[in-house]
Amino acid sequence: MRFAVVACVATLLAAPSVWAQALSAPSVGTGLSGVATADAAAVHWNPALLGYIDRPTILVGGSLIIGDVSYERQRRAAYQRTDALGFALPVAPENLDPSRTGTSPAVTANPVGVAPTLFAALPIEIPGPTRLVAAVGVYAPYAAILAFDPNGPQRWQLQSATIATVFATASLAWRLSEKFSIGAGASYVFGFAELARVQDFAALGDVGAALARPPISQRNDFGPNAPPGVCELDVLARPIRLRRMIAHGFTFNAGVAARPVRGLQIGLSYQHMTDLTFAGRFELDLDDPFFTRDLASQGLQFSPRVEGDATLSFPLPRAVRLGISYELTERLGVTVVGEYVTWSQVERFDARVRSPQLAQPMLGLPDTTSLSLPRRWRDTFAVEGTARFAASARWLLWVTGGYRSGASPDETVDVASPDGDRIVAGAGLRFAVNDQWWLYGDVEVQTILPRTVVGSDLDLGNGTYRLTLVNLGAHVQRRF
C-alpha cells in the first residue's frame, strides 16, 4: 500500500510537462518575435540576433491565453456497477453495468493564463566593426488554469490544475561583423503547480500484491494493466491533491545569426533541456472503511487523510529552431521558421513521497519511498510562415500560418494532455508613434485537427478531443 500512495502521487505529478506542449501558446514577445527577428525577445528565441540591436531597447507587455478544451469520453469495454466489489475477472453478469459502456456527456474547460514579458537590451560599442550586446529577460512561456466538472467522466485523469513557469534569462551577443553574430544566454526557471484528480487504486500493482498476500489472500487483477472490468469502483476511487508544488531549474540557450546579403536574415538557435524537481505537499483521501478499518487486524490501517511531502523530477526537452527572413521589396517581407522539440527524451518521471502516516510498522513499511513511471511521448516539429506588409512609414501589418505536430500518442493521450496536430493562424500590427516608441498588437489561434481516439491503453482515454487556444498579445517597445 505504501507504493500505491507513491504511484498515484507520481501519476498526478506527471501532468506539468505534458501541459508544456498541450496547453500553451508561443507567446514570448510580439507576434513578429522569433528565431529570425532582431528584437529584444531574441533573449528567448535566438540570442545571436541581439547583436543587430543598435540602440538600448526595452520591450514590455504580455499575452492573454484563452482556451476551449472539451472531451467526450467513449468507454469501449465492459464495466461493473460502481458500488460492486469484483476485484478479479470474470465479473458476475449481474454486476455489469451496460450504462457505463458507450459515450459519456462531454466535459469542457476554459483555461485562462497570463504570460507577461519584459526584455531589455544594451549595446556595448567597442572599436572596430564588432559589437557586444548585453540583455536580460523575464517571461512566462507556459501558464494555464484548468478546471473540469470534479465528478465528470474525466475525473480519473484530471479535475483541476494551475500550471505556470517563469524564465529569468541573461544573454550576451557578439556581432563579429555586419554579416555574422553569435550569442548565448543562461536561465533560471521557476515552476508552480497545483493539481487534483481521482486515483483508481485498481491500476496500482502494489495494491493488488498487498491484497493477494496472506493474511488477506484476496484474489485480484489489479495493476498497471488491470482490465477495465475491475476498474473505477467507488471503494478504490481516492481523491488526491497536490498543493504548492515549486520547482527550480537552470538551463541555457545559444544561437548564430547571419546577414549574408542585403534584406536576408538567417537564424539558428538551440534551447537546452531543463531539469525540474517540483516539491510541495500531497493530500490523499483514504476515508473509507476498506483503508481505515476493515483490514486493521491484518496490519493495514491508514489515517482517513494522509498528508506529506512530495517531489517529482523530470526534464523539459531540447528545442532546435531555424528561421529565414527576407525583404522581398521595401514594403513586403516574409519569414519562414521551423522547430524540432525532443519530447521523446522524457522517458520517465522520478517521484518521491514522505509522510509519517505512510508507515505501517506491522508490515515493515517505512515512511518514504520512490518510484519511476515510464512515458511514451514523441518528438514534435513545427513549420510557420509570416508575411509582412508596410502599409506606411508608421504601420506594419502581418499574417501568420503554420502547422505543429502533437506529442501525445493515442495510447497515452488523455484530458490532462489534450494534444494533437495543430493548425496555426494569426495576424498583427505595429504602429510607430515616433522613432522611439513602437506599439504592437496581435492575435494567434491554434486548434487541433479533429481527434477521435479508439486505441487508448486499457480504454482509459478513448473518445473525442477538441482544443482551441487563442493568444492575444500587446507590447510596447522603447528605444533610447
Looking up residue 310, the CATH number of its domain turns out to be 2.40.160.60
The total domain count for the chain is 1
What is the pLDDT at residue 18? Answer: 41
SS3 298: helix
43 closest CA partner among 122, 115, 126, 124: 122
For residue 449, with 0-12 CB atoms within 10 Å meaning exposed, 13-18 middle and 19 or more buried, which class applies?
Answer: exposed
What is the pLDDT at residue 477? Answer: 97
**pLDDT at position 4 over 50:** no
> Sorting pLDDT into bands at 50, 70 and 90, what band is 355?
confident
Rounded to whole angstroms, the Cα distance separating 417 from 76 reads 20
Q: What are the backbone angles phi and psi of residue 136, rounded to the nearest 5°? A: -135, 155
What is the pLDDT at residue 353? Answer: 73
Domain with 411 in it: 2-479
Q: CB count, 10 Å around CB of 331?
A: 12
Structure pTM?
0.88
Rounded to whole angstroms, the Cα distance separating 61 from 40 reads 12
* Amino acid of residue 248: H
> Sorting pLDDT into bands at 50, 70 and 90, what band is 14?
very low
**pLDDT at position 346 over 80:** no
Half-sphere exposure for 329 (CA within 13 Å, toward CB) = 5
User: What average pLDDT score do residues 292-302 get?
Assistant: 80
Cell 531574441 found at:
42
* Amino acid of residue 347: E
Q: Where are the alpha helices (DSSP H) in 277-396?
A: 289-292
User: What average pLDDT score do residues 369-380 get?
Assistant: 72
Q: Give pLDDT tens digits for 420-475.
A: 899 999 999 999 999 999 999 999 999 988 899 999 988 988 999 999 989 999 99
First to last CA, the chain: 63
What is the pLDDT at residue 327? Answer: 95
Tell me what the pLDDT averaged over the chain comes to: 86
> Sorting pLDDT into bands at 50, 70 and 90, what band is 303?
confident
What is the pLDDT at residue 13? Answer: 37
Most confident of 37-46, 59-68, 216-225: 37-46
Measured on CA atoms in the order 14, 19, 22, 23, is the torsion positive or negative?
Answer: positive
Cell 508544456 found at:
20
Eight-class DSSP state of 329: S
Lowest mean pLDDT among 172-186, 221-235, 257-271, 433-447: 221-235
- Top pLDDT among 206 and 52 is at 52
